[in-house]
């Protein structure tokens, strides 16, 4: 629907660290990006390209030095620290390379954890967490701790946890980086299924093969964003 509010809208986004000093670093330069609801986008680039800085800004883990960021229609610059924390809780589900599961808690307890901050009645938390585990094909492992799960299963638990508050955006940072190639393919297939079900997925990666699973790819280089197919050699020529 053309009039639908994009999940992500960046206008001239920039980030400078230590501005005005000898240590000044321009990490992002004038990034423009729109991500529609239900899209699967990959942001690709090597180390130092600016993709991690961009991920931190999209995830409201840092603030831009310039430009505008609208997350699901909300201008992030209008929010104080508490407002940004609430936006992260309600609008963004995070998936990281290292899973970040609590070792002494079961899969179900790990998935339920964000609900403690959501205001959902206690009696409704376990059923919702079990439904999230079922969505990633892991309901039968709900009572197992991370040490009793494979790497791929741990990442599925982490994805279920990211989905638990039903956020409009799933933000995945190198989600297959700690997995073997076969398990990584299974996780990417899961992202595709989630996208097919209406989820919006933004995946950050340095790997061309991983990026090719997305509907659309953009490339970061020296803090600037370029369309898929661009290469530094082509621009230099």
What are the extents of the domains in the chain? Answer: 38-60+92-226
Question: What are the pLDDT digits (tens) for 91-125?
Answer: 999 999 899 999 999 999 999 999 988 888 999 99
The mean predicted confidence, pLDDT, of the chain is: 92
**Was domain 38-60+92-226 assigned CATH 3.40.50.300?**
yes
Question: What are the pLDDT digits (tens) for 172-219?
Answer: 999 999 899 999 999 999 999 999 999 999 999 999 999 999 999 999
pTM of the complete model: 0.90
- Cβ-contact 219, 51 below 8 angstroms: no
Cα–Cα distance between 235 and 237 in angstroms, integer?
5
- Cβ-contact 178, 99 below 8 angstroms: yes
Residue 207 Rama label (left phi>0; alpha psi -120 to 50; beta)? beta
């Amino acid at each position: 629907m053309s009039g639908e509010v994009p999940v992500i809208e960046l206008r001239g986004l920039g980030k400078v660290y230590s501005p005005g000093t000898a240590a000044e670093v321009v990490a992002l330069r004038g990034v423009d990006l729109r991500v529609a609801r239900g899209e699967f986008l990959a942001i690709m680039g090597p180390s130092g390209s600016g993709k991690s800085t961009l991920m931190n800004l999209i995830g409201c883990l840092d603030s831009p030095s310039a430009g505008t960021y609208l997350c699901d229609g909300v201008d992030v610059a209008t929010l104080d620290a508490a407002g940004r924390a609430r936006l992260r809780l309600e609008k963004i589900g995070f998936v990281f390379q290292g899973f970040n599961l609590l070792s002494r808690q079961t899969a179900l307890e790990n998935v339920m954890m964000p609900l403690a901050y959501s205001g959902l009645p206690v009696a409704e938390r376990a059923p919702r967490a079990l439904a999230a585990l079922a969505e990633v094909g892991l309901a039968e492992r709900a009572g197992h701790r991370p040490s009793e799960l494979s790497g791929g299963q741990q990442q599925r638990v982490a994805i279920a946890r990211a989905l638990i508050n039903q956020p409009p955006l799933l933000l995945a940072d190198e989600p297959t980086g700690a997995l073997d190639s076969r398990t990584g393919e299974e996780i990417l297939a899961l992202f595709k299924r989630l996208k097919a079900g209406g989820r919006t997925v933004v995946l950050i990666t340095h790997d061309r093969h991983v990026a090719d699973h997305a509907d659309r790819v953009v490339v970061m280089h020296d803090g600037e964003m370029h369309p898929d197919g661009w290469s530094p050699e082509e621009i230099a020529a």
